[in-house]
Amino acid sequence: MGTKISKQGPAKVKIMGDINVQHKVVHYLTSLFFVRSLVSKSRRRMIVAGYDLDMTYITDRLLAMSYPAERMQAMYRNPLWQVKNVLDMRHPGHYKVYNLCAEESYDASHFHGRVEVYPFDDNHVPPLKMIKLLCESIHSWLSQDPENVAVIHCKGRTGLMVCAYLVYSGMSADEALQLYAAKRTTNNQGVSIPSQRRYVGYWSSILKIPRENLDGPPVVELPKPTTRELRRIRLYDTVNTDSIFFVVTKSLEAEEVPDQLYQPSVEVVKGCCRQVKQACQITDSPRYYMSCVDNDSDQSNNGRETTRFLVQMDTERSSIYQKTCLDYYFENPLQVAGDLRVIFYEKMFGGRLFYTCFNTAFIENILLQFSVRDLDKVGGKGRSICGSTFCLELLFGPTNPVEY
């Protein structure tokens, strides 16, 4: 008797082939979901109509989401066609998309032409005028129909603009930041970049509710351009380094880039902060100024400028020598105004440590101080040069100074 060998029929081979294809499809889709979840980090995701999207309702009429991507980026970001399908299904004819990306764009026809672009750099801050334009546009769109919704997206900018509109709608800056953090993230860390939180506070401070129309939108009082003299950059309590390079940039004003909403940053000055020497004496005499400051609250002045006599003494306190300090003094004070960013580098080229952004109109005295938690994008390298009492200090001259 011999062994009986039977051959597999074609039907069985086909079934095994179909199972292998199904396994590959399941593995592929599982990989995509994992990669997208990895990219979205702690942001909440929404599963709807079989799609897993990085999208959240902050309010019933305000959505935040990541960039709707095409081609290869759709592998790890929201696929544009899935976003379109969900919005068309949930809010047919009643949604408008607000794109904050400066580095990427897509055809507005994907969303039926209802797309507006307010571009600024990723993980950065926009001009206050741009925040005003976006909030007014969203308010106008939502006021047209009670079913209308606004969808705001980008990468590292969405939270700032969503919170700005929440403040425009009547919330305080803290309330807006807390609501966004709770709704958008699983770890309650919404707008995590300190400069962006700072600008939400700026925005809140320039909104006024009109007495004649308490139910209407607030009045936006954009600050007047304020020129300040930057005199010194100091890094207090540094470790593991004896020099740090810096670059000061400013955002171009709208007049400098006509017919363009995007306002790029340009370099103003760069230099190197070095260790303070105890014998170093920068100046041995005080400077006297007539500082002219608008004083609208003082009705007795009838709106005229108030002249204040100031004495500014650029002297050193002995306490700074107890810690390692890196300084840069401007021989000729640097005239600055508007939106500024100061970036610090380990080396002249590359190796960014951290940065900070601010607007000169909101500087209340001659000294701006930033602890580690007030700085943006402080990574391992940045923390490695910061002592336990580290502080960044920017010393300014008086507002709009006239030397006497």
Q: 116 falls in which pLDDT band (50, 70, 90)?
A: very high
Sign of CA dihedral 39, 41, 46, 47: positive
Tokens of 320: 């700074």
Q: 25 falls in which pLDDT band (50, 70, 90)?
A: very low
DSSP 111: G
Element at 289 (helix H, strand E): strand 287-294
At residue 32, the pLDDT reads: 53
Rounded to whole angstroms, how far apart are CA atoms 314 and 13? 87
Max CA separation in the chain (angstroms): 122
Q: 20 falls in which pLDDT band (50, 70, 90)?
A: low
**pLDDT tens readout for residues 49-92:** 888 899 999 999 999 999 998 887 777 778 999 999 999 999 99
> Residues 6 or more apart from 217 whose CB is under 8 A from it?
136, 139, 168
More confident residue, 1 or 248: 248
| Domains 39-220 and 227-403 alike in fold | no
At residue 209, the pLDDT reads: 83
Tokens of 216: 């209407």
Q: 18 falls in which pLDDT band (50, 70, 90)?
A: low
Tokens of 276: 């303070």
Taking residues 329-338, report their average pLDDT: 94
* Residue keyed to tokens 């801050």: 125
Q: What is the mean pLDDT of the chain?
A: 82
CATH match of 227-403 with 2.60.40.1110 = yes
**pLDDT tens readout for residues 279-326:** 454 544 444 444 344 444 444 444 444 444 444 443 345 455 578 899
At residue 35, the pLDDT reads: 58
> Residues 6 or more apart from 278 whose CB is under 8 A from it?
321
**pLDDT tens readout for residues 378-400:** 999 999 999 999 999 999 987 66
> Residues 6 or more apart from 78 whose CB is under 8 A from it?
36, 53, 54, 55, 65, 66, 67, 68, 69
At residue 282, the pLDDT reads: 53
At residue 301, the pLDDT reads: 45
Q: Which CA distances in Å does 285 have to 261, 282, 315, 401? A: 46, 10, 9, 18
- Residues pairing with 101 in the sheet: 120
Tokens of 195: 């400069």
Q: Where are the alpha helices (DSSP H) in 242-322?
A: none
At residue 142, the pLDDT reads: 97
- pTM of the predicted model as reported, rounded to 2 decimal places: 0.81
Q: Which of 139-148, 219-228, 288-297 has the highest mean pLDDT?
A: 139-148
More confident residue, 50 or 121: 121
The domains of the chain are located at 39-220, 227-403
Q: Which of 154, 273, 325, 391 is catalytic?
A: 154
Instruction: Output the DSSP codes for 214-227.
Output: TTSPPEE-PPPP-E
Q: 175 falls in which pLDDT band (50, 70, 90)?
A: very high
Architecture, CATH, for domain 39-220: Alpha-Beta Complex (3.90)
Q: Which CA distances in Å does 315 have to 195, 318, 355, 361? A: 30, 10, 26, 25
At residue 127, the pLDDT reads: 94
Q: Are 159 and 188 in contact (CB under 8 A)?
A: no
Element at 377 (helix H, strand E): none
At residue 396, the pLDDT reads: 95
* Residue keyed to tokens 């004896």: 242
At residue 347, the pLDDT reads: 83
At residue 320, the pLDDT reads: 58
* Residue keyed to tokens 């958008």: 184
Rounded to whole angstroms, how far apart are CA atoms 118 and 161? 10
Q: Is 280 a catalytic residue?
A: no
Taking residues 95-105, report their average pLDDT: 94
